[in-house]
Amino acid sequence: MVYDTAIHRVAGEIARIQEQYGRDAFAVLSGASLTTEKSYLMGKFAHMCLRTANIDYNGRLCMVSAAAASKKAFGIDRGGNPFSDIIGTDVVWISGANIGECHPITSDYVWQAREHGAKIIVVDPRVTPIARTCDLFMPIKPGRDVLLFKGILHLMIANDWLDHDFIEQHTTGFEQVAEDAREWTPARTAEATGIAEKAIRQAAEWWGTAKTSFLMHARGIEHHTHGVQNVLGAINLVLASGRIGRPNCGYSTITGQGNGQGGREHGQKCDQLPGGRDLANPEHRAYIAGVWGMEPEELPQPGADAYEIFREIDRGNIKGLLSICFNPLVSLPDNSYVREQLEKLEFYVTIDFFLSETGRYADVILPGSLHEEDEGTVTQAEGRVIKWNKAIDCPGDARQDWIIIQDIAEALGRPEGFRFQSPREIFDELRVASAGGIADYSGITYEKIEAQYGVFWPCYSEDHPGTPRLFEPGSWNPVAQGRGPFYFPDGRARFNVPVYTPPAEEPDEEYPLYLTTGRVVSQYLSGAQTRRIGPLVDQYPEPRIELHPSLAEKLGIADGDWATAESRRGSVTLRASVVRTIRPDTIFIPYHWPDRSSVNQLTISAQDPISRIPEYKVCAVRLAKADIDVVAVA
Ligand SMILES: Nc1nc2c(c(=O)[nH]1)N[C@H]1C(S)=C(S)[C@@H](COP(=O)(O)OP(=O)(O)OC[C@H]3O[C@@H](n4cnc5c(=O)[nH]c(N)nc54)[C@H](O)[C@@H]3O)O[C@H]1N2
Ligand SMILES: Nc1nc2c(c(=O)[nH]1)N[C@H]1C(S)=C(S)[C@@H](COP(=O)(O)OP(=O)(O)OC[C@H]3O[C@@H](n4cnc5c(=O)[nH]c(N)nc54)[C@H](O)[C@@H]3O)O[C@H]1N2
Ligand SMILES: [Mo]
């Protein structure tokens, strides 16, 4: 059978490459749209079966800045509240999230909040759909959010809009943060962020004097070389207000992919083991090695992140790659570089239900499964574990992803630990592996998920109901042992002084404009799944360059004209869309398209030093009207 031949070829190449060049020469790239069971299996497959250090996942491009900041500030990486807490809150603050186009369910909660009289504050370089109906819009210059947060904290302190009791009892580090905010006067903040001083004062007053509030952000503040610092700045506003861990008082990053939360908890990150454990921590290694029936020394050490894996291919250290649920040729920045590296691989196998653009470079493509063809759990932005049930069978030779992985393990002659008969069996092992970790799923069962319409982790035992709202006063957690609601030994949250560093590349004479990138409503991620759906393609058939009328006039570009945007890494020629909804110093291009239409030919591969997220949201470009003949032959 073709399938068996393919599996044996894959196993043969993995064995050959690992024998010839060492275990770490074979890398794995996984994805956060996979169910939690599959994410867990991918981490186990890399760390236990292949024993390679080099596994990472596409969440590296997505939520890692928020995750790292939450761990630093709260000791745990999970949104604090069920989103029902948004309804009835006084103020909703949304930074760098186009919720109208990207987060329809979140939008519904925000609309309900507005019905109840909430004030909505939006910070974005573009007037997105939610910004059109908000109470206060702040059109920030890309890459300056941390400075805005400092400026707001400055005004909260100056006006004594602080919760002194909360700060005193439940936090550490406020003095240093207050000292740091001192220099961020409204005038200086306005100058640095490009936002009017009046708007900054208004935002601070609404936020400062609210009785209840909810702060949210997404990739707009996270896709930066100082993405973690931006998020720390946001969290400082929440902690200073004391409005967290109570009804209608909360904070959350808004997750991206289908399983953005669950996919980042159980060991497919380059430095992670299941249960949110650390691969570098000896106790954590010993526990997981025990669950998997191996020696802790046999577990690899932390490996390369998703982009670094391509640099390692370039350096000749990685020779083989297996990817699942990831289309890096479209989604990674500076993707001409990525293409060169794919060409260098001795062997590349991908598991996908479609032939993605990256898949064109594969030696073998194994037909995996759609969500509808399998069962398993995913975890929402709120921290609620829910279950997908199987609706249809895989067609033809396609197999469920977890079966394919187990078939490879078997063909490698290392089936121990990969003999699961169902996703439920994988989940039951994951419960044991996560027990005692921060992301503790030990008390969650498929039955309980059905019965309770989802279970919020942490959930410590079968008779524990789960934890819908984190950080409630008086709540217990295993790290603090009753000393306080946050997940540090003293039970206190941490204020962190956020450090501002400018974007890796700022506009200059040669490349005078900011380029920022993101999404449109009708396309999804790398577009692999949505560019083949006619009605969606009709809505937005090709990427367009959004630019302000004043910039368009200066450059002699009319709406619908072809224009070329060029950075130090590449250029792209697309139609212009002249809109009043963007800063005049900034252009926006959505990223869902491949090849010559891909904006990731222009983006920069600079990464946040802590989270390793790429700086998708800022680089420097120049723009000119395109010579139509050039387009015709391009
Ligand atoms: N329809 C649709 N929905 C999706 C997706 C999709 O592809 N299509 N993708 C899903 C995934 S994986 C994710 S991660 C989420 C992403 O959800 P979002 O983060 O909401 O979407 P983005 O378009 O990446 O960026 C959000 C906004 O950030 C703004 N922005 C750019 N630079 C800055 C800055 O420096 N500061 C601030 N404050 N804002 C800035 C952009 O103008 C943009 O409006 O959406 C999810 N939902
Ligand atoms: N310029 C720019 N680039 C960006 C961003 C940006 O804002 N600007 N955003 C970044 C963000 S936030 C993200 S999340 C990434 C996303 O980037 P990717 O993760 O590369 O995008 P996807 O389109 O989700 O690619 C997933 C691939 O896996 C397949 N797939 C999906 N689900 C499954 C499954 O269950 N099983 C199997 N076997 N295959 C599956 C799909 O068919 C597709 O080919 O892009 C990043 N890139
Ligand atoms: Mo994402």
| Protein residue with least CA distance to atom 26, ligand 2 | 326
| Protein residue with least CA distance to atom 19, ligand 1 | 219
Query: Domain check: are 328 and 212 in the same one?
Result: no
Closest CA to 289 of 278, 303, 299: 299
Based on C-alpha coordinates, what's the Rg of the chain? 24
pLDDT in tens, 181-224: 999 999 999 999 999 999 999 999 999 999 999 999 999 999 99
> Residue for token digits 């807490």?
85
Please check whether residue 204 lies inside any domain of the structure: yes
| Protein residue with least CA distance to atom 40, ligand 2 | 325
Find the CATH number of the domain harbouring 574: 2.40.40.20
| Protein residue with least CA distance to atom 34, ligand 1 | 142
| Protein residue with least CA distance to atom 33, ligand 2 | 325
Centre a 10 Å sphere on the Cβ of residue 294 and count the other Cβ atoms it contains. Answer: 16
- Angle (deg, nearest 10), helices 197-209 and 227-241: 50
Query: Domain check: are 94 and 232 in the same one?
Result: yes
Please check whether residue 428 lies inside any domain of the structure: no
Query: Domain check: are 167 and 272 in the same one?
Result: no
pLDDT in tens, 599-630: 999 999 999 999 999 999 999 999 999 977 55
Query: Domain check: are 317 and 386 in the same one?
Result: yes
User: Does the predicted model carry a pTM greater than 0.75?
Assistant: yes
**Last residue within a domain, chosen from 360, 395, 419:** 419
Does ligand 2 have an atom closer than 6 angstroms to the CB of 63? no
Nearest ligand to the CA of 31 is 2
Contact at 8 Å (CB) between 79 and 253? yes
Enter the tokens of residue 472. 């409630």
d(CA 585, CA 506): 12
Query: Domain check: are 266 and 248 in the same one?
Result: no
d(CA 84, CA 296): 42
Question: How do strand 91-95 and strand 376-379 relate by DSSP bridges?
Answer: unpaired
Q: Return left, alpha or beta for 563; rule: phi > 0 is left, psi -120 to 50 is alpha, else beta.
A: beta
The single-letter code of the amino acid at 265 is E
What is the reported pLDDT for 318?
98
216 to 202, 249, 479: CA distances (angstroms): 18, 11, 26
Q: How far is the CA of 256 from the centre of ligand 3 (A)?
A: 4
pLDDT in tens, 441-458: 999 999 999 999 999 999
Query: Domain check: are 83 and 18 in the same one?
Result: no
Average pLDDT, the chain: 97
Domain that holds residue 82: 64-254
| Protein residue with least CA distance to atom 29, ligand 2 | 325
Query: Domain check: are 347 and 404 in the same one?
Result: yes
Give mean pLDDT, residues 465-483.
Answer: 96
Band (84; pLDDT cuts 50, 70, 90): very high
Phi, psi of 2 (to 5 degrees): -55, -40
Does ligand 2 have an atom closer than 6 angstroms to the CB of 331? yes
Query: Domain check: are 180 and 53 in the same one?
Result: no
Please check whether residue 308 lies inside any domain of the structure: yes
pLDDT in tens, 559-584: 999 999 999 999 999 999 999 999 99
**Last residue within a domain, chosen from 200, 220, 254:** 254
Band (518; pLDDT cuts 50, 70, 90): very high
Residue 163: pLDDT over 90: yes
Residue of 57, 102, 589 best suited for mutating to test ligand 1, as the one with most atoms within 8 Å of CB: 102
| CB burial readout 318-357, b (16+ within 10 A) else e | bbbbbbbbbbbbbbbbbbebbbebbeebbbbbbbbbeebb
Assess whether the previous peptide bond of 590 is cis (omega < 30° from 0). Answer: no
Q: How far is the CA of 590 from the centre of ligand 2 (A)?
A: 14
Contact at 8 Å (CB) between 257 and 31? yes
Query: Domain check: are 49 and 69 in the same one?
Result: no
Please check whether residue 233 lies inside any domain of the structure: yes
Please check whether residue 362 lies inside any domain of the structure: yes
Residue of 34, 60, 93, 98 best suited for mutating to test ligand 1, as the one with most atoms within 8 Å of CB: 98
Give mean pLDDT, residues 368-379.
Answer: 97
Residues in the chain: 634
Please check whether residue 596 lies inside any domain of the structure: yes
Find the CATH number of the domain harbouring 42: 3.40.50.740
Helix, strand, coil share of the chain (percent; to 5):
40, 15, 45
Q: How far is the CA of 523 from the centre of ligand 2 (A)?
A: 11
pLDDT in tens, 309-346: 999 999 999 999 999 999 999 999 999 999 999 999 99
Does ligand 2 have an atom closer than 6 angstroms to the CB of 614? no
- How many structural domains are present in the chain? 3
Q: ∠602-227-147 over CA atoms, to 5°?
A: 110
Residue 123, beta-bridge partner list: 95, 138
Query: Domain check: are 237 and 316 in the same one?
Result: no
Centre a 10 Å sphere on the Cβ of residue 170 and count the other Cβ atoms it contains. Answer: 21
Please check whether residue 597 lies inside any domain of the structure: yes
Query: Domain check: are 19 and 153 in the same one?
Result: no
Does ligand 1 have an atom closer than 6 angstroms to the CB of 227? no
| Protein residue with least CA distance to atom 12, ligand 2 | 62
Query: Domain check: are 157 and 100 in the same one?
Result: yes
d(CA 163, CA 181): 17
Residue 517, beta-bridge partner list: 589
**Last residue within a domain, chosen from 232, 254, 276:** 254
What's the gap between Cα 214 and its chain centre?
A: 20
Closest CA to 157 of 179, 137, 138: 179
